[in-house]
Amino acid sequence: MNNIVSKILIVANLVFSLCFMCFAGAVFTFQAGWRDKANKTQSQLTSANDQVQQLQGDKELLTTKHAKELGDETTRANKAEAKVNNLDQNLKQAIGNLANAEKERDKHLADLQVAQQEAQARITETNDGRAEIKRLRDQNNEAIAVRRGLEDKNLEMVGELADAATREMKLLKEIKRLNELLRLNKIDPRDPVIGPVPKDVEPVDGFVVESRKNASRSTELVQISVGSDDGVYKNMKMTVYRDSKFLATIQITEVYPDIAVGLVVEETRNGTIERRDNVTTKF
Amino acid sequence: MSQQSSDPTIYDGLMFVSLGAVIVGIVFLIMSLDGYGWSAG
């Protein structure tokens, strides 16, 4: 029994010894590569640590810088927020002002419409007033024309009145003179007039405008340049003469204010009646 | 009194080979440690 166990142990000892030898040989064989790799890894680790430290420093710098920038940006953000709040308040105030301005504008528009309507009414009223003024001006012009006519007539009447007054004075003087003449001839002026009184012939001088024979060529008609305004009346007898030569006697048959027509009732042989011959009541 | 044989057996040879393998392994380890300058860490 001991023999078998010892044999087994010897074999196991052999196996383990061979394994130990193989393990040690493998370690001796590959340890150089492992060492290089370890050195390389160590150097990489060192450089990585350096880089990590550098990056850590950079990170701290960046962190500090970013913290500072963050503080600045935070300050700016706070300022901007305050500004935005102010702007919001200003905007709200401006919106309120705008609403007030719109209300004011609407009110002014309503006032403007009312004013426009009133202005239109005033324009219509003014046009009516102008038409009324034009009508009154026309009436005034007509009244002025009438007044001027009346003034002219008044002046004419005043002149006639003055002439009448002068004539009245002359007639009163003539009546006085005639009364004195009657008294001088021992005639009472208050005695009544008995019998026909011949018509007083006033001296009228004119000239022949035209003369012609009538249809039978027996009687000559003469148109003279004086008429009723000059004291000529119908059936009045007048004398036609030329340079102190008696030509004919005519009897007035037609009388007009400024002309008259006479019929030749007596004709001499001193000549025929022609245009521009003189005519008178007393030759 | 038992008779003991003095002839080496196969197991003696195996023991010898085992010893040789151990010695060779120790030599390999010593050489390896020498490469690291006897520094384990």
Q: Tens digits of per-residue pLDDT, A149-163?
A: 999 999 999 999 999
A20 interface with B at CB cutoff 8 Å: yes
pLDDT band at A75 (very low <50, low <70, confident <90, very high): very high
| Pairwise CB contact (< 8 Å): A14 & B28 | no
Chain A residue closest in CA terms to B9: A7
Q: Give me the pLDDT at residue A1, please.
A: 54
List the structure tokens of B14.
Answer: 């195996």
Nearest CA of chain A to the CA of B15: how many Å?
6
For A274, residues 6+ apart whose C-beta sits below 8 A from its C-beta are A208, A211, A242
Nearest CA of chain A to the CA of B3: how many Å?
16
Q: Tens digits of per-residue pLDDT, A78-106?
A: 999 999 999 999 999 999 999 999 999 99
**Residue of B5, B10, B14 to mutate, testing the A interface (most A Cβ within 10 Å of its Cβ):** B14
Q: What three-state secondary structure class fits A18? A: helix
Dihedral sign (CA A185, A190, A193, A197): positive
Q: Give me the pLDDT at residue B2, please.
A: 44
Q: What is the ipTM of this complex?
A: 0.82
A28 interface with B at CB cutoff 8 Å: yes
Q: Is the pLDDT of residue A211 over 90?
A: no
**Residue of A20, A30, A36 to mutate, testing the B interface (most B Cβ within 10 Å of its Cβ):** A20
Listing DSSP states for A65-113 in one string gives HHHHHHHHHHHHHHHHHHHHHHHHHHHHHHHHHHHHHHHHHHHHHHHHH
Contacts of B4 in chain A (CB under 8 A): none
Q: Give me the pLDDT at residue B1, please.
A: 39
**Residue of B2, B4, B5, B18 to mutate, testing the A interface (most A Cβ within 10 Å of its Cβ):** B18
